[in-house]
Chain A
Amino acid sequence: MLFDSVQFLLFLPAVIALYFILPHRLRWIFLLVSSYYFYGCWKAEFLVLLLYSTFNAYFISLRIEQAASLFTRRAWLITGLVSNFSVLFFFKYFNFFIGSRDYFKTFAGQHPKVEWVTQVLEYGIPVGISFFTFQAVGYTLDIYFRQAKAEKNFFKFALFVSYFPQLVAGPIERFTHLHQQLFAKHKLVYENLSNGFRLILYGLFIKMVIADNLAPLADPVFTNPLAYSQTDTILALLFFSLQIYADFHGYSLIAIGVAGIMGIKLMDNFKTPYLAVSVKEFWARWHISLSTWFRDYLYVPLGGNKVSYFRWMVNIMIIFLVSGIWHGANYTFIVWGALHGFMYLAEQVFVRAGWLQTKNRFFTGIGFVKTFLVINIAWLFFRSDTLAKAYLSLAKIFGSEPTADLYYRIQHFEHGKANQAVDDAFLNGKLVPAELTLHNSLFIGLAILIVTELWIQKSRFDQRISTWNFGFRWLVYAVLIYCVMALSGPDFYQFIYFQF
């Protein structure tokens, strides 16, 4: 079930009404059933994976807590991590590591078991598998590091893993933050209701009006960069940069708003990241729940910055490479992670040497421009289907003519899929030039987004607008409602982060 669907707009009021009508002792059971229904609306068969991940974390964590020796604790932890990540690996990374799923198709008819594997893989990546796996694994690590006490009731734990507002695309919550809230007695408070609806409205606005209108502009350029001009390629990259932010931030705001109505506070996931003046700051403001997850469960256990200079640099690169791989099994994501890692280290080398301690506004401005450029170049790899296509876009952006030789060499290296339009252009000399057509209504939405971002800074939409008087507030709501109803993108674009 998507947040921007009629189904959800009916589901949400029904769940909220019933949640507050039901006696407190039944509420969590109702939430659990609702959450499983919510997830089952995609493909009910994937509920098995959610259940597996939940049971795995539940069982292993109890064993870790009960273990008498460090060796046994470690053994259970490794068992838990391997068994939980193996499902993620199978569905998300298996194809990447075997080179190509088509390889297995060559066995079709000869080895029924191999055929079964290909059929399962053809089924696609279960929605939100990385999110709920990381949430469950985070819990197991909390128990191992004695940060929390294991939950004895399986069904209560199942609610923590599956709580529907943040199940499929986060924020990835910590057990210590979310679990108690789920079982606390919440009253229907008007403040929560109004703040929740503010966030839902603004979330729908940036998803439906910004992201869904930018997607059809960016997509064709990244599908065949050869057909578009340098200006169009640069515009498409900027559009994607805004699209992914609007798409993911929109989802997070709706999730926070929905939970907020029930009196449950989810962590913030974004704080105007494109206003960051360094890559380090960007990561403190972008997908915060994942950044902090990596910090707490990977970076700190690796030694963090309390190690040698060289080891610290290795730790940083590990974090960014893993973050890249978390997003998907593709060289493009690895390059995306590596670029962020290199830039982070480059900045920090200067900072550690004391060369970048200035608060000078000019240098802050330079920092903003530099960070924005770096992030956008990295997005180019993130958005491209293959490294070969990323090369085409990059060449276009920097005004050089891409060569067929290099394109095919990169494609061969990465086992990249062939692209009919690019092949036609390179091999048959058939290139149909295209250009982006921009509609005025798009700029209305973008203008509202940019002004709002500058106004919000590190705060949040609901917090800022609550200080305004009733008339102004409702004027803003009216504009947002009109945009959502009349100017949203009419085509179907799933939330980008669902695939992760």
Chain B
Amino acid sequence: MEMIKKIALRILLLIAIVAVSNVIYRHTTYHADLRAESNVLLKFERAVETADALYFSASPNAAVFKDDTDKRTIAQMMDDLLPDLKLEAVDTGGIHAGVFKKLIALIPEDSDVRYVVVNMNYRSFGIGWIESVLENPIQKQLVFYNNRPPIINRFLQGLNFYDTRSAKEREELIQWHWKNDSLPFAAPRNNVTDWCALEKWGDWTNPKRQLADSYIKNFAFPITEENPRLKDFDEIVSICHQKGLKLIFVILPENLQEAEKLVGPELTSLMISNKNKLVNRYKTNEVTVIDCFGAVPDSCFTERIFPSEHYTQTGRMTVARAVTDCINR
């Protein structure tokens, strides 16, 4: 009995220490930690205080093309096109629906946010992105995106309470999926590895061959019910539904012209079929899906050595207009 009393007293002391630590932490290094490890949460916390609409995006929102005269991001363009609505971007490079869902869940009940616009990046459904080496820092950030006292989230981060698979393990997984995930074509186009081995554009030293490979690796995949990204988007739908938020998915433009030129119509047909699956899946769930998949021509893509969703000012305006037209309707 004596021992139980002693232990109980110490447990209470421990709780008090953690509570005081939380207060000290919030007022000292918490924001520095957010800036260093989770800058998107910092953006979110600021945006949610003032915005009517939040725009969740990865790097496609950035405006870095040197020849652009209009340096506005997609979000800034949308905000200018919607004078009655305050729209703020919650964005940073490499993030995806797995991050967006955590942030959307943190939107407070009493906030003014009515619209949630989420970029649906087709490439993010592929295994190359799902198991990217960027995933570890993203998973590390995610620990902070939980509705717990900040000190507990920080402690869990210190305990590495996130997916810490090594780059080697992730690479092995990617290679396994490229070899074993079946594509709806006859051999050798029935999996990514064999498809990539097909001779086209000469040997591996040819930049076009390398780019064609990147297109196959990034865009050729089946989207099954087990796809983690699909589950993330499903969760976003249900969170917005619970919170009574108007949800808009924007299927981002991909460079279909380049894909067809480099690899062939098999790839673009697979991409379009996958995209249609996504449109059909979410249109039935009281979500507005804006399909910009083929809306931007090759000339509006800024990256020439790797497939990406980075657009010139014209491309960004195309996406911005599509979203604002929808909101205005």
Chain A residues with CB under 8 Å of chain B are 2, 4-6, 9, 188, 190, 193, 208, 212, 441, 474, 477-478, 481-482, 484-492
Q: How far is the CA of A485 from the CA of B164 in the complex (A)?
A: 19
B6 touching A208, Cβ below 8 Å: no
Shortest Cβ gap from A11 to chain B (Å): 13
Instruction: Specify the chain B residue showing the minimal Cβ separation from A493.
Output: B160
B151: A residues at CB distance < 8 A: 485-486
B3 within 8 A of A: yes
A488: B residues at CB distance < 8 A: 154-155, 157-159
Ranked nearest first, the 4 interchain pairs of A and B with the lowest CB-CB distance are A488-B158, A492-B164, A485-B155, A492-B160
Interface of B is mostly: helix
A491 touching B140, Cβ below 8 Å: yes
B161 within 8 A of A: yes
Q: How far is the CA of A473 from the CA of B48 in the complex (A)?
A: 43
Interface size class of B (residues with CB under 8 A): 20 to 34
B156 within 8 A of A: yes
Instruction: Specify the chain B residue showing the minimal Cβ separation from A441.
Output: B29
Q: List 25 A-B contacts (CB under 8 A).
A: A4-B159, A6-B159, A188-B3, A190-B6, A190-B7, A193-B7, A208-B158, A208-B159, A212-B158, A441-B29, A478-B20, A481-B17, A481-B21, A485-B18, A485-B25, A485-B152, A485-B154, A486-B25, A486-B28, A486-B154, A488-B154, A488-B158, A488-B159, A492-B136, A492-B160
Interface of A is mostly: helix
Instruction: Specify the chain B residue showing the minimal Cβ separation from A489.
Output: B158
B24 within 8 A of A: yes
B136: A residues at CB distance < 8 A: 492
Shortest Cβ gap from B76 to chain A (Å): 32
Q: How far is the CA of A5 from the CA of B143 in the complex (A)?
A: 14
Q: How far is the CA of A484 from the CA of B28 in the complex (A)?
A: 15
B181: A residues at CB distance < 8 A: none
B164 touching A490, Cβ below 8 Å: no
Instruction: Specify the chain A residue showing the minimal Cβ separation from B140.
Output: A490
Q: Which of B20, B24, B140, B159 contacts A9 (CB 8 A)?
A: B159
Chain B residues with CB under 8 Å of chain A are 3, 6-7, 13-14, 17-18, 20-21, 24-25, 28-29, 33, 37, 136, 140, 151-152, 154-161, 164
Shortest Cβ gap from B267 to chain A (Å): 30
A474: B residues at CB distance < 8 A: 13, 17
Q: How far is the CA of A489 from the CA of B159 in the complex (A)?
A: 9
Instruction: Specify the chain B residue showing the minimal Cβ separation from A482.
Output: B21
B6: A residues at CB distance < 8 A: 190
A490 touching B37, Cβ below 8 Å: yes
A190: B residues at CB distance < 8 A: 3, 6-7
A4 touching B155, Cβ below 8 Å: no
Q: How far is the CA of A9 from the CA of B161 in the complex (A)?
A: 11
Q: How far is the CA of A208 from the CA of B152 in the complex (A)?
A: 15
Q: How far is the CA of A487 from the CA of B21 in the complex (A)?
A: 11
A485 touching B29, Cβ below 8 Å: no
Q: Which of A4, A212, A482 contacts B24 (CB 8 A)?
A: A482
B29: A residues at CB distance < 8 A: 441, 486-487
Shortest Cβ gap from B32 to chain A (Å): 8
A478: B residues at CB distance < 8 A: 17, 20-21
Q: How far is the CA of A6 from the CA of B37 in the complex (A)?
A: 20
B24: A residues at CB distance < 8 A: 482, 486
Q: How far is the CA of A93 from the CA of B139 in the complex (A)?
A: 35
B159 touching A481, Cβ below 8 Å: no
B164 touching A484, Cβ below 8 Å: no
Given A190-B6, A441-B29, A485-B151, decide whether A490 and B157 contact each other with a Cβ distance below 8 A: yes
Shortest Cβ gap from B37 to chain A (Å): 6
Instruction: Specify the chain B residue showing the minimal Cβ separation from A208.
Output: B158
B161: A residues at CB distance < 8 A: 5-6
Shortest Cβ gap from A416 to chain B (Å): 20
Instruction: Specify the chain B residue showing the minimal Cβ separation from A475.
Output: B17
B140: A residues at CB distance < 8 A: 490-491
B21: A residues at CB distance < 8 A: 478, 481-482, 485-486
Q: How far is the CA of A494 from the CA of B236 in the complex (A)?
A: 34
Q: Which of B7, B154, B156 contacts A6 (CB 8 A)?
A: B156
Q: How far is the CA of A492 from the CA of B164 in the complex (A)?
A: 7
Q: How far is the CA of A5 from the CA of B159 in the complex (A)?
A: 5
Instruction: Specify the chain A residue showing the minimal Cβ separation from B137.
Output: A491
Q: How far is the CA of A490 from the CA of B139 in the complex (A)?
A: 11
Shortest Cβ gap from B24 to chain A (Å): 7
A441: B residues at CB distance < 8 A: 29
Q: How far is the CA of A6 from the CA of B153 in the complex (A)?
A: 12
Q: How far is the CA of A188 from the CA of B20 in the complex (A)?
A: 31
Q: How far is the CA of A488 from the CA of B17 in the complex (A)?
A: 17
Q: Which of A188, A193, A490 contacts B158 (CB 8 A)?
A: A490
A477: B residues at CB distance < 8 A: 17
A490: B residues at CB distance < 8 A: 33, 37, 140, 154, 157-158
Instruction: Specify the chain A residue showing the minimal Cβ separation from B30.
Output: A486
Q: How far is the CA of A491 from the CA of B166 in the complex (A)?
A: 12
Shortest Cβ gap from A208 to chain B (Å): 5
Shortest Cβ gap from B268 to chain A (Å): 35
B156: A residues at CB distance < 8 A: 6
Shortest Cβ gap from A459 to chain B (Å): 23
Q: How far is the CA of A9 from the CA of B151 in the complex (A)?
A: 17
